[in-house]
Amino acid sequence: MSVALRPGRRADESPVHLRFSEDDEAFRRELAAWLETELSGPFAHVRGRGGPGDEHAALEERLAWERHLGQSGWSCIAWPAEFGGRGATLTQQVIFYEEYARAGGPGRLGHIGEGLLGPTVIAFGTDAQKRRFLPPIARGEEIWCQGYSEPNAGSDLANVQTRATRDGDDWVIEGQKVWTSWAQWADWCFVLCRTDPEGARHRGLSYLLVPMRQDGIEVRPIVQMTGDSEFSEVFFDGARTAAENVVGEPGDGWKVAMGTLAFERGASTLGQQLLFQYELDQVIAIAKENGAARDPVIRQRLADAWIGLQIQRYHALRVLSNAESPELSREAMITKIYWASWHRDLGKLAMDVLGPESEIADGAPYDLTRLQRLFLFTRADTIYAGSNQIQRNLIAERALGLPREPRPAAGSTR
């Protein structure tokens, strides 16, 4: 669909100048009212919690929130109704993420199931897989994690070494994943693994759906700079999953895995920008209060941060107007590197605005303020979902048509 610009609309409160229909406005009112009721009533304690650097906050309550969202019809709204969604239009999805951010909706534990695995199963899965896996995600009952990265396969994902072999009606999995977000809380993991030992690099990989709660899987949380453990090492030692839990054909894992990555960008971008706006507002307020705003360099950086956020908004609108194209457009290739670098710089700016205070913990032994967590967590923004260097390679090769970077020789396992 094409998204029409409508300059000036709701400019005081909304960064989104989309043309919303009467139905959209009714949808917005219904959602905003529901969020306000729930987040000032039974779920008041999860409001604003669980964001980056705050992943361990109110975990049980946030799991209950996932179920409540699902049972109330406010999870997976973009999915078709037959799988538990609402078939929401693009403008409704934008509204959802905006209102969710505006209301202080908590960090979503169901995000990987809703945003990555679900769309992948819808695109590549069998009917039986759709019936089995989609409804529990939509109801907020099953939490998923993503098992791609390994100690020697991050940017170079085709070097995956975790193996799966058939044993009767099961796949048996051996190997190790790392940096697996939410692994310690997940019920299921989608695991990219090598099912054909003869297949080199991206050939011979398969995309398996693996239950996490079994003896053959050990999860070791990694303590991060924020003090939380958002991600873990995951060891597979004779882990099992049923033969039918392969998405696509065995050996088609690369194609399916790349399909999943394409779902990482979308309507959620505008909600993310509202969260960035709140963070920037907080930094500006502190700069005014503590006098940092009188420093000419800080003033320039604050103004630059604000300009960068406006650019992100208009860029997102431009990308969304091409959202139905299955290809990653040239415009969309800029999105990740731009927001990640901007957010990392905001973390640094926050520390500089706080001055010496930024180095003192709020409480013993390691109780950090929200801005300290922001600073530490944003160091990861330019790494996950494709590092800045990988984004530049992508832009160089696919947007600018520059020569491809040298690849390992055919037959090499590296």
The tokens of 188 are what?
């299921």
The tokens of 254 are what?
């690369």
CB nearer to ligand FAD: pick between 98 and 230:
230
Q: Would you tell me how many other CB atoms lie within 10 Å of the CB of residue 110?
A: 26
CB nearer to ligand FAD: pick between 260 and 273:
260
- Among residues 56, 40, 58, which one has the least CA distance to residue 104? 40
- Among residues 22, 108, 38, 120, which one has the least CA distance to residue 79? 120
CB nearer to ligand FAD: pick between 77 and 257:
257
Strands 217-221 and 144-147: unpaired
Closest residue to ligand FAD in the complex (CB): 154
Residue 327 CB, shortest distance to ligand FAD, in Å, is: 22
CB nearer to ligand FAD: pick between 179 and 339:
179
Residue 241 CB, shortest distance to ligand FAD, in Å, is: 17
Residue 354 CB, shortest distance to ligand FAD, in Å, is: 23
Helix (H, G, I), strand (E, B) or coil at 188: strand
Binding region for ligand FAD (CB under 6 A):
145-149, 154-156, 179-181, 230-231, 380, 383-384, 387, 389-390, 393, 405
CA–CA gap between residue 205 and residue 257 (Å, rounded): 9
Residue 289 CB, shortest distance to ligand FAD, in Å, is: 31
Residue 373 CB, shortest distance to ligand FAD, in Å, is: 13
Residue 133 CB, shortest distance to ligand FAD, in Å, is: 18
Helix (H, G, I), strand (E, B) or coil at 271: helix
Question: How many CA atoms within 13 Å lie on the side-chain side of 165?
Answer: 7
Q: Is 264 a catalytic residue?
A: yes
Question: Distances in Å between the alpha carbon of 176 and those of 76, 180, 234?
Answer: 30, 10, 6
The tokens of 152 are what?
């020697």
Q: Which residue has the tokens 């992948």?
A: 120
- Among residues 71, 207, 226, which one has the least CA distance to residue 126? 207
Catalytic residue among 36, 61, 174, 264: 264
Question: Is residue 14 within 8 Å of 32, Cβ to Cβ?
Answer: no
Which residues fall within 8 angstroms of residue 153, CB to CB, at 6 or more apart? 159, 160, 161
CB nearer to ligand FAD: pick between 152 and 214:
152
Phi/psi for 103 (5° steps) reads -80, -5
CB nearer to ligand FAD: pick between 154 and 227:
154
- Give the residue numbers marked as catalytic: 264
